[in-house]
């Protein structure tokens, strides 16, 4: 079942690239006591994700923070090294936390998986964004397959 507004984010261990290399981070750590703009992409380095989705959150980070967002988190079913490299390639710095859902545990727990096996990409995440307050989903913006409008930073800003 797909997560909905009002639901608590499941407790899952993810990975991020730290200053000394890969380090675990739990969803509890990411969301406890914070208002977070979370967005998920089908794949790092893929065309729409690199040209539009991640750049939209970079471009509007200050506006999101001005509207009460404490952190911006990008998640993808990729390994931590790919997410780290993509963050460097996109020059995210400390603006967006790049988080790897390497085995799709969070994506599956949210009910937002996307099977792209026929296209050689395997299990991925659907394209979505959500505002999470202290671990509870306040809004969920889900794009239908192949689309990119509802999950953009611009769409999220219009809702805040």
Helix (H, G, I), strand (E, B) or coil at 98: strand
| Cβ neighbours for 27, distance < 8 A, ≥ 6 positions apart | 9, 10, 11, 12, 14, 106, 135
Q: What is the pTM of this model?
A: 0.93
For 79-136, the pLDDT digits (tens) are: 999 999 999 999 999 999 999 999 999 999 999 987 677 776 657 788 999 999 999 9
Are the beta carbons of 95 and 72 closer than 8 angstroms? yes
Q: What is the mean pLDDT of residues 27-31?
A: 97
Determine which one of 9, 37, 49, 110 is catalytic. Answer: 49
Query: Where do the structural domains in the chain lie, given as residue ranges?
Result: 13-40+68-159
Q: Which CATH number fits domain 13-40+68-159: 3.40.50.300, 3.40.640.10, 2.30.40.10, 3.40.30.10?
A: 3.40.30.10
Q: Quick check: is 49 catalytic?
A: yes
């Amino acid at each position: 079942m797909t997560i909905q507004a009002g639901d608590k984010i499941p407790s899952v261990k993810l990975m991020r690239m730290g200053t000394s290399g890969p380090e675990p981070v739990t969803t509890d750590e990411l969301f406890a006591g914070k208002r977070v703009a979370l967005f998920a992409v089908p794949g790092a380095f893929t065309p729409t994700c690199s040209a539009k989705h991640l750049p939209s959150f970079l471009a509007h980070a200050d506006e999101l923070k001005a509207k009460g967002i404490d952190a911006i988190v990008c998640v993808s079913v990729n390994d931590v090294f790919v997410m780290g490299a993509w963050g460097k390639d996109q020059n995210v710095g400390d603006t967006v936390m790049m988080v790897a859902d390497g085995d799709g545990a969070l994506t599956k727990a949210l009910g937002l998986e996307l099977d792209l096996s026929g296209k050689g990409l395997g299990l991925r995440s659907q394209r979505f964004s959500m505002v999470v307050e202290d671990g509870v989903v306040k809004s969920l913006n889900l794009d239908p397959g192949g689309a990119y409008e509802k999950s953009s930073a611009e769409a999220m800003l219009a809702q805040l």
